[in-house]
Structure 1
Amino acid sequence: MKLLIFSVVVSLLMCSSCSSPYKEKFMVPAEFDKQEYIWLSWVENGFLGGEPFYFTALNAMKEITPYVKVRLFYGPQPGYNKEQMERRIYEKLIAHKIDTARITLFYNESAYGAIQDPGPVFLRNAKGEFALADFNFIHPDKEAEAIDRNVAAKLQLPSIASKMVSEGGAWQTNGNGTMLLVESVELDRNPKMTKLQIENEYKRVLGVTKIIWLKNGCKEEEWGKLENGKYGIGTGGHIDEFCRFVNNNTVLLAEVDVKDTVGDAISRESYHRMEANLQLLKLSTTAEGKPFEIIRLPAGSLMTKKIDYKSLTKNEQSWFNDVTADSVEFYLATGYMNFIIANNVIVTARFWKEGLPLELKQRDEQAKQIVEKAFTGRKVVQIDCMPLHHDGAGVHCHSRNEPAAKK
C-alpha cells in the first residue's frame, strides 16, 4: 500500500502543477479510433432486482475479444477474496469459451461496476505517450474516487489532476478537439462553476479546443420521483445515453417516436428535449468548422420495473425518496446509444425476448440496421444488457476505452 501511495504521489508531482509532464500536448482520443484494450468490470451482484452485472460482462467479452483485448476490472466481493475471485472469473471465462489469452485481470482494492464514470480517462500525445486525467468524482462509495489514480499508479502513468467533478459518460469527444457536454449534468455537478470555467478546465485537462453544449437528456433519465409517481434512477442526462460520435463530424442522436408521446407525458418531454438538441447540433460545427452529419437512432421503448420496497437493501432504498406505497416503480435505462466501440465491432443492447411484444423485436432490428449503416464496415452485435439497465446504466457505462499508442 505504501508503494502504491508513493507511486500516486510521484505521478501527481510529474504533473508539474497539473500541467502536462511532456512538451507535447495531451488530448483525449476518440472511441471510434483504434483501441488497445476495452476495460470491463466484474461485479457479482445485481441491483434493484436485476441479475448479476457479470452476466452482461461475459456476453460482452465474448463479442469483443476477437477484435480487441480486454482489461477486466475486479476487486474482492462478498464470499471471495482476491485469489478466489481470480479462480472464479477464469472458470466462468472458460465455461463461456472466451479466449483467456485476450483477457488481462486488473485488481482494485474495491470492486466497481459502472467504471465509465470514475475509471481511467486515457490521454495521448503526438509521440504516442499516455497520461491519465484525474477528475473529482462524487459517489457514496468514497473509494470510487481513487480508481483513476490507482490505475495511473499501477500502469506507471502520469496524471493531469482536476478538482472539477466529471463523469466519463457525461461527455463525448471526436479526438480532434471537439467536445459535447450537457448543461443539466455539468452545472449540477459543479454548481459553483460557470460554463466558461467548465469549458476552460476541460480544454486544459483533455486538450479539447471547441465545446458544444446540449441542454438535457431524456426525461426518464432524471433522478428521483417524477411527476407520474414513477422514479428515474438515471444520471440526469449523461450524453452516452442519447448522443454519440460516429466519426469526426458525424453523430448519432436519439429520436423519440411521436407515436410514443401520445398519452405519455414522460415520452413527450423526452421528444421535445431531443428535438431541441437536434437544433443545437444543426447550428454547430466541429473545431475545424465542419457541419455535423446527424443520424437519428430510435430511443429505447420506455420500460419499468416494480419491486417491493422492503425487499431492497438500505443502499438500494436510498435511491428512492418520498416512498408512500409498499412498492416502487422505476424506469429502466433502456436504449441503443449506450454501446461500446471495440475496433471492428460495436456492442449494443437488445430488448426483445420470447413472450415480449414483437414491436420490441422490430425496434431492435431497426436500431441495429441504423448503427450498421452509421459504422460502415464494422460488425454490430446486440446483447442482453438488462442487468445493467437496473443500475441506471448500459454496457458503455460499465466499460472504458484504452486507445492504441498511435491512430
Structure 2
Amino acid sequence: MTAFKSEFLHTLNERGFIHQCSDPEGLDKLFCNETVTAYIGYDCTAPSVHVGNLVSMMILHWMQKTGHRPIALMGGGTTMVGDPSGRDESRLLLTPEKIQSNKDSIREIFSKLLTFGDGPTDAVQEDNANWLLDLNYVEFLRDIGSKFSVNQMLARDAVRLRLEREQALSFLEFNYMILQAYDYTVLNKKYNCKLQMGGSDQWGNIVSGIDLCRRMNGVETYGVTVPLITKSDGSKMGKSVDGAVWLRADMYSPYDYWQFWRNVSDADVGRFLRLYTTMPMDEVRRLEALEGNELNEAKKILATEATALIHSRADAEQAAETARKTFEEGLGATANLPTIEIAKSDLEAGMGILSAFVTAGLAKSNGDARRSIKGGALKINDATVSDDSTSLGLEDVNQDGVIKLSMGKKKHVLLKLA
C-alpha cells in the first residue's frame, strides 16, 4: 500500500478508493502544499444517479471533508452525445428538455454529501452545457481536434473494445473523449482545477484531458480513478433484482435502500463500510472482524449508516425499526412499509394475484410472479400463495386496512384502498 502524506489521498487509499493515479508522488505533494480543486463528471441520462455512481460521489465528499474544493460537473452538454465507455451499444439520445429535467433532479442529491457555496472549500456545481453548446464546430476542430491523434483515440479501451466486438460506434460517440478532455481545460482555466477523477472506465478520457491541459494551458494536471465496484458474487454494484438502486427516495424508497445494504453478502461488509459510510476506520475494522450472527449486526449498521448518508438519519432509523418489527413481530407491525394505493373497485371486481405482485413492484411480470409462486416465495398477509389463478378481494384487507404482499422474508409492500 502506498504511504501517502496528504490526508485526502491517505483516506482514499485506506478506504479502498484508488485504482489508478497518473502521478502518485506529484499529486500527494500537491495536496500537501495547497487547497486543491478537482472534479468528477456526471451525465444526465436519468432523473437520479444510483448506487453505482455513489463511490465517486463519496470521493468528492472526502475531498471536501479533508479541506479541498470539489466540483460536481453536470453533463448537460455531453449527455447530448453519449459516453461509449463501458457500453456495448449506443445510448439513446435524449431531448434537451429531458436532459434539463434530469439535471435539475440530480442536483438535489449532491447536497446530501456536499456543502455548496462561495468559500475556498465549498463545493461547486457546473454544467458543461455552458461551454459545449456554444462551440463553433469548425473552430473547435481546428483548435481542439488538431491536438488529438486518431491512432491514440482508437487505442482507448472505450473505443477499442467496441471495435474489437464489431459493435457500432457512432462518430458522435467517438467525439466524446475530446469533449470530456475539453471540459478539463475549461475547468482548469476557470477554477484552477488540477485533478479529474472518475470510474476506471474513464481512464482513457482522463489521460486525454491531462494531455490537452498540458498542450492548451501549459499546466501539469492529474488523474485518479476508482475501481469498478462489484459484489462478491461478481454482479454489478448499483443493481438489485428489481433494477437500479436509485438515490432519490421517490424512485427507490429509504426502506428498500436500507434493505439493499442489509442484504449484502458477508464478504462485502467490510469493503462497503469503507466505501459507503464515513465511519472511523477503527470501528470499520472491528465490525468486519465479526462472525456468524454478530456479522448480521454489522450489516444492520452498514444499512443504517449508508441510508442516513443519502436520505436522513430519521429515515434510516425508521427503516431499521420497520424491518425489526416486520421480521420479529409479523403482520401487525406494518405501518412504515412501502404502500401503494389501489381502487376499491379493483378489489370488488377481483384483482388477479399475478397482477397484484407486478403492481406492487415485487415481480417484473406475470411470468416472474408465477415462477415465484411455484418456488413458494410469495405471500399474502403472511400466508404462502400456492395458486396463481386466485384473486384478491375486499375480504383480504386485514385489520390494519391493508393487504400485505411479501416476496421472500425481506421484501414487503402494502396495498391500501385509495
TM-score bin, normalised by smaller chain: under 0.3
TM-score by length of 2: 0.24
Q: When you count strand as a share of all residues, which structure comes out higher?
A: 1
**Structure possessing the higher radius of gyration over alpha carbons:** 2
Give TM-score, length-normalised by structure 1.
Answer: 0.25
